[in-house]
Amino acid sequence: MNTRPRNPARPALAALVAAALVATGAALVYGPAAHAASVASSTSATNVITMPDFSVIAQQQGAAVVNVSVSGNSAAMAEGDDEGNEFPGMPTRPMRAQGSGFIISPDGLILTNAHVVHGATDVTVKLIDRREFQAKVLGSDPKTDIAVLKIDAKNLPVLKMGKAADLKVGEWVMAIGSPFGFENSVTAGVVSAKGRSLPGDSGVQFIQTDAAVNPGNSGGPLLDARGEVVGINSQIYSRSGGFQGLSFAIPIDLATQVKDQIVATGHATHARLGVAIQDVDQGLADSFKLETPAGALVSNVEQGSPAAAAGLVSGDVIRKVDGHAIVAASDLSALVGQSRPGTTVSLDVWHQGRAEELHARLADAKDTQLASNDQSASKGKLGLALRPLDPDEKLAAGVDHGLLVQNVAGAAARAGVEANDVLVAVDSVPVKSIEQVKKIVDESKKAVALLIRRDGTTIFIPVHFG
């Protein structure tokens, strides 16, 4: 079976690597005395770089890291080629793959990645003492890429859970796993960033490290300088299929939430709000009169969704959820996705130039989701030639109002508006006539935000004048 990482970011069956430290005029301190320290400290005379003793961590924690071998058939297990293409017409054949995992309870509970055991008909867990056990998959959650295994054993070594929320960028971290089948390989590096979002709808805010993670490392633990688990190695960014300095781990805080649900019910649930959102850039911030380009801009609201019931509309900017700041759209996706269905959340919203507070009762993510005469607008400032939609065009676009973009020039063209787009609103005001558009544009000084419907997708496009 092919388990090499996707290109550019895809699951990688994996562990973490030794990072080199380059210090000028600094003393390096190693050994047990430095075991619990992972940041630099200084004295008045010289800088002292304190490093954790990775050998101590490996010796103490390595016994709780396992190798996970899976077998199945190509139809169920294949992940596609390096470009993410799949081949459903290919004949099925037996396939095998390897990943990593770690023990979290003395009676044999093991955490790993969902993609490690995806489609597997047989799962074997090998301990560091060479014993092998057939494992039962208690459940897996593809959305967060978490799976829980159970083996029939007792008095097993376990890893202690840490807190990913307490990690700091620049801290030392270490991983243990089976890259390319080389069991219990130890690698180390630093935390490069937190809260990273990757393509897809997982809603996971990954821990990024510069530790070497390769195929076979997936499901293995990311450990802090105290030897506590802070993440599960899951993905790499690679153009070659191997490590290129960008590795991503699922925060253990999230993994523990998912694990608890799987152990209790056999599956994990995720909530949904029912909105299409996008990031707020400087142009959109100017258009909506926001002080900073932050928040999740609502471009579409599902009919009958929790968002609609709460009163959210296109053009609203969600800035906080239960007091947690939303900087990027992915922050909202993560907070909502990690909530339980039925939870009521408080939303701080920027609505038509003023702050409002709304409350939404989140739904279950598994429930149904997304359920002529030519005229011209002034091209001098905006650059659009528009005409009203006929009934068939409204039906095809999935809107009940709007104007068809016939031609684009000037500011609108530079912003990315295209011919045959449907203009639905300007600065959150639904538009049904060219006169409306002209009036809003004439009253705007710096920029306007155009709500555009294109190929079934609704997006805001900021247009700057001048």
User: Annotated active-site positions, please?
Assistant: 115, 145, 218
In degrees, rounded to 5, the angle at the alpha carbon of residue 268 between the alpha carbons of residues 266 and 273 is: 155
Residue 282, phi then psi, degrees to nearest 5: -65, -40
Q: How far is CA 184 from CA 58, 59, 99, 342, 367, in A?
A: 9, 11, 11, 42, 41
Report the run of H or E that residue 191 belongs to, with start and end.
strand 185-196
Tokens 């409350």, residue located? 359
* 64 DSSP 8-state letter: G
The helix/strand/coil state of 231 is: strand
Which residues on adjacent β-strands are paired with residue 407? 385
Question: 274-277: long-range contacts at Cβ-Cβ below 8 A with a sequence spacing of 24 or more?
Answer: 274/301, 274/302, 274/304, 274/305, 274/306, 274/307, 274/308, 274/363, 274/369, 275/299, 275/300, 275/301, 275/302, 275/305, 275/307, 275/312, 276/300, 276/301, 276/457, 276/458, 277/318, 277/329, 277/332, 277/333
Residue 351, phi then psi, degrees to nearest 5: -120, 110
User: Which two tokens mark 239?
Assistant: 């153009």
* 161 DSSP 8-state letter: B
User: With 0-12 CB in 10 A as exposed, 13-18 as middle and 19+ as buried, what is 118?
Assistant: buried
Let me know: does 14 contact 181? Beta carbons within 8 Å: no
Residue 200, phi then psi, degrees to nearest 5: 120, 180
Closest CA to 176 of 99, 69, 235: 99
- Burial string for 15-41 (b: 16+ CB within 10 Å, else e) reads bbbebeeeeeeeeeeeeeebbebbeee
Which residues on adjacent β-strands are paired with residue 363? 272
